[in-house]
């Protein structure tokens, strides 16, 4: 097997391998006593996730073309969908007061729906031929929607909010915006005042962004497996929550792609609605609802990356067909 074929195999299966390595890391640091001396390294890597995400986003934003960040129709449609559907689910809980297990699943759906687009979604969007600039715009919009509507909706279904809308909004903004806005501003300043350095970092970022994302995925996957292990819930409950996570993953990705066809940006919109900031979702679940609810967005992290892995495989196959036919690769 040639080096090119080996590289292509790893490109196609990298997300699968990332999740599997995360699972193996969870097994190693949880069950293998001889790994105890280096568990501090694992804890350090988990605590360093915000830094790694900042670096990843900075390199991704260096490629963004700011003139293409104008709002598009699919931005508005998907934002309204998130707001209205989340409101409907909250209303169902308020008016029908479902039994505890059903309520738990509905709350998990609410978290998956209202959670903003993952800031790192631009990496996969670019990998699949989407428009990274349009996707970054929606990431900012969806984070704003989450910051405003979580404090509006959640007092109806829980009693653990601060009691102040402004306080809750600022708390959520403090959670999501530094890691989103600061690298965007830094990339803009470098583009404006040091274009040569910006060009160098753009080229460098195109080479290391995806491997860095795989590294982050390994850490996130290990943390999700460990969180589920610590909850020690019944197998039936875990299966139902994982199934809900799977259904929502498929629905949100495919719905986003359908809406994105309006502007010829099905990949960008699909990633915008489907690829969620599940770390944020887990944080909101733990803060406002319960640790059990956090299993649903935790499973969503695994499902969305498996779905992205399948998309990358189809992207590679499409690229091969287009190359043989001397056609340009798909690019929004």
Find the CATH number of the domain harbouring 54: 1.20.1530.20
pLDDT at 180: 79
Instruction: Provide the token pair at 123.
Output: 């990496």
Residue 274 maps to a domain: yes
Nearest to 316, CA basis, from 1, 2, 10, 3 = 10
Residue 330 maps to a domain: no
Each residue of 281-292: pLDDT tens digit? 888 888 888 888
Residue 244 maps to a domain: yes
CA-CA distance, 219 to 230, in Å (whole number)? Answer: 17
**Domain count within the chain:** 1
Instruction: Provide the token pair at 249.
Output: 């993953």
Residue 16 maps to a domain: yes
CA angle at 231 for the pair 13 and 22, rounded to the nearest 5° = 20
Residue 189 maps to a domain: yes
Residue 332 maps to a domain: no
Residue 43 maps to a domain: yes
Each residue of 224-243: pLDDT tens digit? 888 878 776 677 878 888 99
50, 227, 218, 236 alpha-carbon torsion, rounded to 10° = -140
CA-CA distance, 290 to 100, in Å (whole number)? Answer: 12
Each residue of 269-327: pLDDT tens digit? 999 999 999 888 888 888 888 888 888 998 998 899 999 989 998 998 898 899 888 88
The model's pTM: 0.86
pLDDT at 81 over 70: yes
The CA R_g of the chain, rounded to the nearest whole Å, is 20
For residue 39, what are the domain limits?
3-324
CA-CA distance, 82 to 252, in Å (whole number)? Answer: 10
- Helices 100-114 and 278-288 pack at an angle, to 10 degrees, of 140
CA-CA distance, 258 to 290, in Å (whole number)? Answer: 33
pLDDT at 1 over 60: no
pLDDT at 162 over 70: no
Residue 208 maps to a domain: yes
């Amino acid at each position: 097997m040639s080096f090119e074929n080996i590289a292509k195999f790893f490109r196609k299966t990298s997300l699968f391998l990332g999740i599997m390595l995360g699972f193996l890391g969870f097994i190693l640091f949880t069950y293998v006593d001889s790994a105890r001396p280096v568990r501090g390294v694992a804890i350090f890597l988990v605590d360093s996730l915000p830094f790694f995400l900042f670096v990843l986003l900075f390199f991704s934003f260096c490629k963004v073309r700011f003139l293409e960040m104008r709002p598009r129709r699919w931005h508005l449609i998907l934002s309204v969908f998130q707001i209205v559907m989340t409101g409907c689910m909250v209303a169902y809980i308020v008016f029908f007061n479902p039994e505890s297990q059903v309520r738990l699943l509905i709350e998990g759906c609410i978290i998956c729906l209202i959670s903003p687009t993952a800031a790192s979604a631009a990496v996969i969007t670019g990998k699949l031929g989407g428009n990274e600039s349009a996707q970054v715009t929606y990431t900012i919009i969806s984070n704003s929607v989450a910051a405003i509507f979580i404090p509006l909706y959640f007092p109806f279904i829980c009693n653990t909010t601060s009691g102040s809308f402004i306080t809750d909004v600022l708390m959520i903004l403090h959670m999501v915006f530094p890691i989103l806005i600061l690298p965007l501003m830094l990339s803009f300043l470098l583009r404006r005042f040091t274009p040569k350095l910006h060009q160098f970092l753009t080229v460098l970022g195109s080479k290391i962004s995806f491997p860095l994302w795989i590294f982050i995925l390994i850490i996130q996957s290990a943390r999700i497996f460990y969180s589920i292990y610590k909850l020690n819930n019944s197998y039936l409950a875990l299966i139902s929550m994982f199934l809900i996570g799977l259904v929502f993953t498929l629905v949100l990705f495919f719905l986003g792609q359908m809406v994105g066809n309006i502007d010829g940006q099905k990949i960008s919109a699909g990633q915008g609605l489907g690829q969620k900031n599940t770390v944020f979702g887990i944080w909101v679940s733990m803060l406002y609802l319960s640790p059990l609810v956090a299993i649903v967005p935790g499973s969503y992290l695994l499902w969305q990356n498996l779905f992205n892995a399948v998309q990358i495989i189809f992207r590679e196959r499409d690229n091969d067909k287009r190359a043989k036919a001397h056609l340009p690769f798909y690019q929004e």
